[in-house]
């Protein structure tokens, strides 16, 4: 079966950065609903359209097609007194904007001299990603999956 709108696609994959460092070893297959449901990066979905089980391809995503460019303005230095005593580098927290709607996830990247450095960029912002993909399976989506906009059952969402 060919990958087309409203098919469920199962992929074996591996993701590396341009230096060959493994970002995701693809230990578990990726299963998504094809056809603009935002289950996978748009550039990859477009490259997969029309492919069949067993087809392999390599796709390079530039930062703007993946997790965005790195934005220095999202790096903030805050007074440590604003945080609990048990914080550690690597911890994440959600910060809600003044309007109560703009939520951002920040990671603590440094703690020193009474200051905490937090970064609102995705950890992979500014990084190109290389996907090595093999189509493991393609099947028609059920009406329920199409209605919900995601995969149900094995490898997908369960209600």
The predicted model scores a pTM of 0.82
Q: Considering the domain delimited by 72-119, tell me its CATH architecture.
A: Beta Barrel (2.40)
Fold of 7-67+126-148: Chitinase A; domain 3 (3.10.50)
With a cut of 80, say whether residue 62 has pLDDT above it.
Answer: yes
With a cut of 90, say whether residue 35 has pLDDT above it.
Answer: yes
DSSP label at residue 28:
S
Distance in angstroms (rounded) separating the CA atoms of residues 33 and 94: 29
With a cut of 50, say whether residue 47 has pLDDT above it.
Answer: yes
Distance in angstroms (rounded) separating the CA atoms of residues 119 and 125: 11
With a cut of 90, say whether residue 155 has pLDDT above it.
Answer: no
**Average pLDDT value for the chain:** 92
For residues 66-88, average pLDDT: 94
**Structure tokens, 17:** 């950065």
With a cut of 80, say whether residue 114 has pLDDT above it.
Answer: yes
Q: Looking at the DSSP assignment, which residues form a beta bridge with residue 152?
A: 157
Distance in angstroms (rounded) separating the CA atoms of residues 78 and 90: 15
Q: What is the model's pLDDT at position 154?
A: 62
Q: What is the model's pLDDT at position 101?
A: 65
With a cut of 60, say whether residue 157 has pLDDT above it.
Answer: no
Q: Is the dihedral of CA 85, 89, 90, 92 positive or negative?
A: positive
With a cut of 50, say whether residue 159 has pLDDT above it.
Answer: no
Q: Where do the structural domains in the chain lie, given as residue ranges?
A: 7-67+126-148, 72-119
Q: Is 23 exposed, middle or buried (0-12, 13-18, 19+ CB in 10 A)?
A: middle
Ranking 6-15, 101-110, 138-147 by mean pLDDT, the lowest is 101-110
Residue 73 CA: distances (Å) to CA of 24, 51, 118: 27, 41, 11
């Amino acid at each position: 079966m060919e990958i087309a709108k409203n098919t469920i696609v199962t992929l074996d994959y591996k993701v590396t950065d341009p230096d060959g460092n493994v970002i995701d070893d693809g230990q578990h297959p990726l299963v998504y609903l094809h056809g603009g449901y935002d289950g996978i990066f748009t550039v990859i979905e477009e490259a997969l359209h029309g492919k069949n089980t067993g087809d392999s391809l390599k796709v390079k995503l530039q930062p703007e097609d993946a997790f965005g460019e790195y934005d220095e303005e999202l790096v903030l230095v805050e007074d440590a007194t604003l945080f609990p005593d048990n914080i550690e580098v690597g911890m994440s927290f959600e910060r809600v904007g003044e309007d109560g709607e703009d939520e951002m996830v920040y990671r603590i990247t440094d703690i020193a001299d009474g200051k905490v450095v937090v970064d609102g960029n995705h950890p992979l912002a500014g990084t190109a990603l290389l996907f090595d993909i093999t189509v493991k399976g393609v099947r028609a989506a059920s009406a329920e999956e199409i209605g919900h906009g995601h995969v149900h059952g094995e490898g997908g969402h369960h209600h």
